[in-house]
Amino acid sequence: MKKQLKYLFVISSLISTGFMYAQDQAAPVATTAAEETGKIVEEISALEFLMKGGFFLIPIAILLFYTSCGALFIHQAHDKAQQAHVV
Protein backbone atom coordinates (compact mmCIF):
# COMPACT_ATOMS: atom_id res chain seq x y z
CA MET A 1 0.00 0.00 0.00
CA LYS A 2 1.32 3.43 -0.85
CA LYS A 3 2.51 5.72 1.89
CA GLN A 4 0.11 8.50 0.77
CA LEU A 5 -2.87 6.15 1.02
CA LYS A 6 -1.88 5.15 4.56
CA TYR A 7 -1.62 8.81 5.54
CA LEU A 8 -5.04 9.45 4.02
CA PHE A 9 -6.59 6.64 6.06
CA VAL A 10 -4.98 7.85 9.29
CA ILE A 11 -5.98 11.47 8.77
CA SER A 12 -9.55 10.61 7.78
CA SER A 13 -9.97 8.32 10.79
CA LEU A 14 -8.65 11.02 13.12
CA ILE A 15 -10.99 13.63 11.64
CA SER A 16 -14.03 11.34 11.81
CA THR A 17 -13.17 10.38 15.39
CA GLY A 18 -12.95 14.07 16.27
CA PHE A 19 -16.35 14.73 14.70
CA MET A 20 -17.91 11.82 16.59
CA TYR A 21 -16.43 13.03 19.86
CA ALA A 22 -17.63 16.60 19.25
CA GLN A 23 -21.12 15.38 18.37
CA ASP A 24 -21.27 13.30 21.53
CA GLN A 25 -20.29 16.27 23.67
CA ALA A 26 -22.64 18.75 21.96
CA ALA A 27 -25.85 16.70 22.10
CA PRO A 28 -27.02 15.94 25.64
CA VAL A 29 -28.88 12.67 26.04
CA ALA A 30 -32.46 12.79 27.35
CA THR A 31 -32.63 11.21 30.78
CA THR A 32 -36.38 10.63 31.07
CA ALA A 33 -39.13 9.48 28.74
CA ALA A 34 -41.02 12.76 29.31
CA GLU A 35 -38.25 14.73 27.64
CA GLU A 36 -38.35 12.46 24.58
CA THR A 37 -42.12 12.62 24.14
CA GLY A 38 -42.07 16.43 24.09
CA LYS A 39 -40.47 16.43 20.65
CA ILE A 40 -43.06 16.65 17.88
CA VAL A 41 -41.82 15.94 14.37
CA GLU A 42 -43.95 17.14 11.49
CA GLU A 43 -43.77 14.92 8.43
CA ILE A 44 -44.03 16.46 4.99
CA SER A 45 -45.36 14.70 1.91
CA ALA A 46 -43.82 14.91 -1.54
CA LEU A 47 -46.63 17.17 -2.77
CA GLU A 48 -46.18 19.55 0.17
CA PHE A 49 -42.44 19.60 -0.50
CA LEU A 50 -43.10 20.56 -4.12
CA MET A 51 -45.48 23.31 -3.04
CA LYS A 52 -43.22 24.68 -0.27
CA GLY A 53 -39.83 23.83 -1.84
CA GLY A 54 -39.20 27.14 -3.58
CA PHE A 55 -35.52 27.91 -3.97
CA PHE A 56 -34.36 24.39 -3.11
CA LEU A 57 -36.20 22.86 -6.06
CA ILE A 58 -34.24 24.83 -8.67
CA PRO A 59 -30.96 22.85 -8.35
CA ILE A 60 -32.90 19.60 -8.00
CA ALA A 61 -34.77 20.33 -11.25
CA ILE A 62 -31.52 21.26 -13.03
CA LEU A 63 -29.85 18.03 -11.92
CA LEU A 64 -32.89 15.97 -12.93
CA PHE A 65 -32.92 17.57 -16.37
CA TYR A 66 -29.16 17.13 -16.81
CA THR A 67 -29.13 13.47 -15.79
CA SER A 68 -32.17 12.55 -17.87
CA CYS A 69 -30.72 14.25 -20.98
CA GLY A 70 -27.37 12.59 -20.37
CA ALA A 71 -28.95 9.16 -19.98
CA LEU A 72 -30.99 9.68 -23.15
CA PHE A 73 -27.87 10.74 -25.08
CA ILE A 74 -25.89 7.73 -23.85
CA HIS A 75 -28.77 5.37 -24.72
CA GLN A 76 -29.03 6.80 -28.24
CA ALA A 77 -25.27 6.61 -28.77
CA HIS A 78 -25.27 3.00 -27.61
CA ASP A 79 -28.09 2.12 -30.01
CA LYS A 80 -26.23 3.75 -32.93
CA ALA A 81 -23.07 1.84 -32.04
CA GLN A 82 -25.00 -1.43 -31.91
CA GLN A 83 -26.57 -0.74 -35.31
CA ALA A 84 -23.17 0.06 -36.80
CA HIS A 85 -21.81 -3.31 -35.64
CA VAL A 86 -24.80 -5.21 -37.05
CA VAL A 87 -24.52 -3.77 -40.57
Residue 55 contacts residue 47 (beta carbons within 8 Å): no
pLDDT at 29: 59
Cα 55 from chain centroid (whole Å)? 18
Instruction: Choose the weakest-confidence range: 27-31, 58-62, 68-72, 83-87.
Output: 27-31
Domain ranges (residues) in the chain: 47-87
The string of pLDDT tens digits covering residues 33-80 is 555 566 677 787 777 877 777 777 788 888 888 888 888 888 888 888
Spatial separation of the C-alpha atoms in residues 20 and 26, rounded to whole Å: 10
pLDDT, mean of residues 9-19: 81
CB under 8 A, 24+ apart: contacts of 36-40: none
| Sequence-separated (6 or more) residues with CB below 8 Å from residue 60 | 53
- Phi, psi dihedral angles at 28 (to 5 degrees): -70, 145
